[in-house]
Structure 1
Amino acid sequence: LMRAQGVKVDSVSLGEIERALAAGYDPQTCPDDIVFTADVIDAATLARVSELHIPVNAGSVDMLTQLGQVSPGHRVWLRVNPGFGHGHSQKTNTGGENSKHGIWHSDLPAALAVMQKYRLKLVGIHMHIGSGVDYGHLEQVCGAMVRQVLECGQDVEAISAGGGLSIPYREGEEPVDTRHYYGLWNAAREQIARHLGHAVKLEIEPGRYLVAQSGVLVTQVRSVKQMGSRHFVLVDAGFNDLMRPAMYGSYHRISALAADGRALENGPWVETVVAGPLCESGDVFTQQEGGMVETRALPAVIPGDYLVLHDTGAYGASMSSNYNSRPLLPEVLFDNGQARLIRRRQTIEELLALEML
């Protein structure tokens, strides 16, 4: 579906490269269909990007050296850390001195020296500094991009704004003003183009923006109980299925469906803690960053009813795991009103298949 819409792939692992190839992306006929972005590169991935001539977005000088030794003349981007960042959580802040990501801005001359040594071809400068949109902060990022390009003294074909386009997870939040967002980056692109004397492409990684609102997690209520003053609803999905609340304290809207079709909205509403089945106190879907448990006003439900966690299309299934030896969930795609299974439920046999006695 994405390939049909003209979306390209920013891969961060060998597995993601192979998934893109399986989906029909072809770097041989479309050299920019797949880009590999990382701060480190292992031997197997290095061999594959060299074989397929996949452009590499390098986040460390050592990575450039390793690539140059194996594939001189390779097309590369430089991911620059401008010294500041932004994110909806400290764990999603990908800029500044506490972030592992990118080549530190003052190390750019060292990166360019390695590129010259191995005749690596500079495609562009990439600057992804975190998730979420703050327009004042975005202006700062755009200014940093212009300075980096002008100060590096190199020609570039393109600049990349990275990712981070957010969606309104909470009721009442405003959606991103994409015209304003584009306008700020386009102004930076035009300034760079004037300096270089030729057109410059602008790239962006809007993965969350494209898919987050397309997904929901449907989970069944298995137990309802009172823990002192707290009303708990326990469901059969855990943070192995949806990690974001436990990892970041992320908010996902929750709605309820009655198994017998009764109208829940007309009944009592209860301040509720929603938690899963895992043997972890942190297996709670209603928590803030740092693990502070909070409640959500929900209709009174009983075992057998269902809860729906909304906006799980991004960083939902892709972050799921086999923690507590729990199989991966199935995924169902609804396309033009038709449902089809796109990932079947993992079996216990598959869960154990790699283990040896």
Structure 2
Amino acid sequence: MQPKELLALAEEFGNPLYVYDAATIEQQYNRLTSAFSKVENLRINYAMKALSNITILKLLKKCGSGLDTVSFQEVQLGLHAGFSPEKIIFTPNGVSFEEIEEVAKLGVQINIDNLSVLEHFGAKYPKVPVCIRINPHVMAGGNSNISVGHIDSKFGISVHQMPHLLRIVENTGMHINGIHMHTGSDILDIEVFLYAAEILFDAAKNFKELDFLDFGSGFKVPYKKGDIETNIEELGKKLSKRFLAFEKEYGRTLTLAFEPGKFLVSEAGFFLAKVNVVKQTTSTVFAGIDSGFNHLIRPMFYGSQHAIENISNPKGKERFYTVVGYICETDTFANNRQISEIKEGDILSFRNSGAYCFSMASNYNSRFKPAEVLWKDGKGHLISKRETFEDLIKNQVEIEI
């Protein structure tokens, strides 16, 4: 999207504001399916925790996507958006057994990552098909906060526990129809991912009635010019070849599944905020915006670096700024960053704000959550309203003191 288009949306809908470009989401979905076009049965399950707005879900459904969910509430949202139960997979971690039961009753594919839960579920519901999440003990990403396939991760059943796992399956007579892994976000080296895939292929040989192999996701997207990203095309070529060979070895047609979240929506997102103050100290020039980590927590939480553009002055002379928010504790979006000269009232645009941004927003400091807009066919469509004071207090129960 162009600065003038974003500026017009900020003028129309106010700020702070989240904007998502529909064309970019569709392009990323098509890029992934094209990379694996040689696979007969390919299934993309959008990891909706990245961005769960109902309109975004409907857009991806129109593309042909299924859903990856991690809570009963996400399942409900998916069903509300029009996804059929068989197009949804439920991959929780540490939830109650009752929650897993509630999801199973809806006909959604269950994915279990705990031996005790697997045994309990198999004993109670032996005829319900179950997918198993394997921990391959592979560190494929560069950020320990979002890498989940390593040996110290709480996710998945260790591949070294396979004998115990097989004993549970044999004792309960349960039907295992899928096997899954997820190494986590920021896959830097596809060879490491392919190594983890071999572990999944080996594990799959233990189950004779599989319908699908799920390789999770974690594809890295570029956050700045020249940034490293996962080479999807090369991965598609190499993994497709290996998957087709495994199908022949296995003796039946299988579905190859992925669960991308960030890959599909990150680059489609822009977060727009107005500069309230420009403050010069003895060592730093601060640009203080009308937002904080209550709206965009990733820089503080993950150390992520979102590219920031002054769309009010995109071609101005660059100066160094530290961009901060209005929260009453340190909330720094960027340190000593080169940005076109900023003045009070300018609108800053934060790139790559489609994934894990609005979905992690809060009402900290009793601030309202921003509105969300979908840019589609050259027009901005409001897809969630800006919160009001009534939204802040609607669930509070006032009592006489």
Q: Same fold (TM over 0.5)?
A: yes
Between the aligned partners of 1:89 and 1:175, the Cα distance in structure 2 is 14
Offset of residue 264 of structure 1 = 5.2
- Cα offset, 1:226, TM superposition: 1.7
Taking structure 1 as the reference length, what is the TM-score of the superposition?
A: 0.89
| Aligned with 1:149 (options 186, 192, 204) | 204
Shift of 1:70: 4.5
Letter in 2 for 1:137: V
Return the offset for 1:44. Answer: 4.7
Q: Which has the higher contact order (CA 8 A, sep 6+)?
A: 2
| CA offsets 1:93-145 (integer angstroms, 9 cap, x no match) | 10122211110111223223333344332122111112123122122112222
Q: Which residue of 1 aligns with 2:332?
A: 284
What SS does structure 2 have at the residue aligned with 1:279? Answer: coil
**1:138: which partner in 2?**
193
Aligned sequence identity (%)? 30
- Matched to 2:376, the amino acid is D
In 2, distance between residues paired with 1:342 and 1:70? Answer: 41
Which residue in 2 is equivalent to 1:289? none
Q: How many aligned positions are there?
A: 339
| Distance of 1:122 and 1:168 partners within structure 2 | 37
Residue 296 of structure 1 aligns to a residue in which SS?
strand
Other-structure match for 2:382: 341
Structure-2 separation of matches of 1:212 and 1:242: 13
CA contact (8 A) 2:299 2:305 kept: yes
Partner SS for 1:249: coil
- For 2:147, give the aligned amino acid: N
1:16 to 74, 80, 95: 74
> Would you say the 8 A contact 2:113–2:132 is kept in 1?
yes
Shift of 1:224: 0.9
**TM-score, normalised on structure 2?**
0.80
SS of the residue corresponding to residue 145 of structure 1 reads helix
Q: Let me know the Cα RMSD of the aligned residues.
A: 1.8
Q: Distance in 1 between matches of 2:145 and 2:138?
A: 14
| Per-residue Cα deviation, 1:250-280 (whole angstroms, up to 9, x for no partner) | 111110033xxxx5523x4211111111122
How far, CA to CA, are the matches of 2:170 and 2:281 in structure 1?
65
Match of 2:301 among 227, 247, 254: 247
1:146-187 alpha-carbon deviations (Å, 9 max, x no partner): 22223x354422111101112111111255432211123223
Are the aligned partners of 2:310 and 2:347 in contact in 1 as well (CA < 8 Å)? yes
Question: Does 2:366 correspond to 1:316?
Answer: no
Structure 2 spans left out of the alignment, 5+ residues: 1-58
Q: Is contact 1:75–1:122 with CA below 8 Å preserved after alignment?
A: yes
Tell me the residue number matched to 2:290. 236
Aligned pairs for 1:1-357 within 5 A: 1-27=59-85, 31=86, 33-133=87-187, 134-150=189-205, 152-173=206-227, 175-258=229-312, 263=313, 265-266=315-316, 268-281=317-330, 283-286=331-334, 294-357=335-398
Give 1:88 deviation, angstroms.
3.2
Residue type of the partner of 1:285? F
For 2:177 and 2:246, the matched residues in 1 are separated by 14
